[in-house]
A = this chain, B = another copy of it.
């Protein structure tokens, strides 16, 4: 069996290398590639991902897994090897179920759909995007049907991003959360608004870069194993456990963008840098799920980076770098400003208190579309109705409403809820960490993050994708994914800021 495991590892290493090579090409495309390189780059990434898929779904892989599954069941269930075989078999079963033609069809539909979405958004005309979206949804419904029987037609889509999670679980979580968040926002918006005008001044790009680098270096981001580059949309990408890179962008008229985005991406990167090297070049050298990934980015961005102790340490430094902009803004004014709550139309600009409502709205619409309970042509109206209910706002046009996100044009159905679940998980972990590191607040106030990072590495990062997200959260916190800690956190934080 050792020989079989070694054969499995060798095939997986090939698959892994091809995917990581594609990641390098994609990173280059987003950072440095000259414009005319785009056509060839698409072909190259396509070839690499096609070969990776062929390698992973090969008959030889199937035979190896069939031979190894009985062996795996005799191993300690939490051992790397048992998990490797289990997770690989799970991916194999899913990937071989989908006919290549369906994948090609989706690629074609989304290529056309993305172009149509861009035009539709520019003209703020949903009708331009509608026929494309109908075809994409039809493709996704046929995809889901491949996995019948299921509890819910949306389950197979969700499973793409949150292995093992069910639609009913997510619905239950969000049903508990929604009324409390709506109530909190009503309470906050009934209070006098806090000032954040000082954030909207001219802030030099190089100074912003330097401050961000200083912060994430203190977080523990290792520049021997990563780097930062500029990109139009910030992202994190991993080429190896020892090469995980972040990107950022700068708004010279708003200092909040780069600061929090840099911490967010560093949070993602610290996760992938923490994978156990024993998992290298296998499907286990990956995040447990997108929600767990997002729990890490949100933790460093929000629970650390928007906290008062963090700024007790870093604010004097920021004032030193930007004396004319912030010299006369005291710490508490600054802290309140970066935590200003304001219902808004655009998800990516939303604050911590309102963000999840943007997600719930999308999840409900996706489920209704997949169920057939909502037709695509009625989507703008359904969108706007929920915006009024949840945030009290009416989009003035489709561009600032149903057309704002890229995800649907790319076929990413099932993705959105991972953002909100990540928020919830981040606070569940945070409560646990604070129980185990009683002095955490004091450490953050001193600009020390090594105990926090050490805890995350030991309890979350090193496991990679060994455990499904629900299992991981249970192992670490003893609990299911639970919205209560998140609501406690929001209420405590905003009660202080808004004097509720």
Contacts and interface: CB of A to CB of B under 8 A. Distances in A.
Nearest to A50: B14
A236 interface: no
A227 interface: yes
A241 interface: yes
A132 interface: no
A240 B223 CA distance: 30
Nearest to A242: B36
A37 B48 CA distance: 20
Nearest to A25: B24
A269 to B, nearest CB: 11
Contacts of A34: 223-227, 242-243, 245
B36 A225 contact: yes
Given A24-B25, A28-B28, A17 B43 contact: yes
Nearest to A281: B43
Contact of A47 (B18, B222, B226, B239): B18
A28 B28 CA distance: 9
A280 B222 CA distance: 40
A26 to B, nearest CB: 10
Q: Which 3 A-B pairs have the closest CB atoms?
A: A40-B240, A37-B243, A17-B47
B21 A48 contact: yes
Contacts of A245: 34
A33 interface: yes
Interface string A29-55: 000111111011101100110010000
A20 interface: yes
Contacts of A37: 225, 239-240, 242-243
Contacts of A20: 40, 44
A490 interface: no
A14 B47 contact: yes
Given A28-B28, A34-B223, A47-B18, A243 B41 contact: yes
A368 interface: no
B40 A243 contact: yes
A13 interface: yes
Interface string A357-391: 00000000000000000000000000000000000
A281 B222 CA distance: 38
Interface string A215-256: 000000011111101000000000111110100000000000
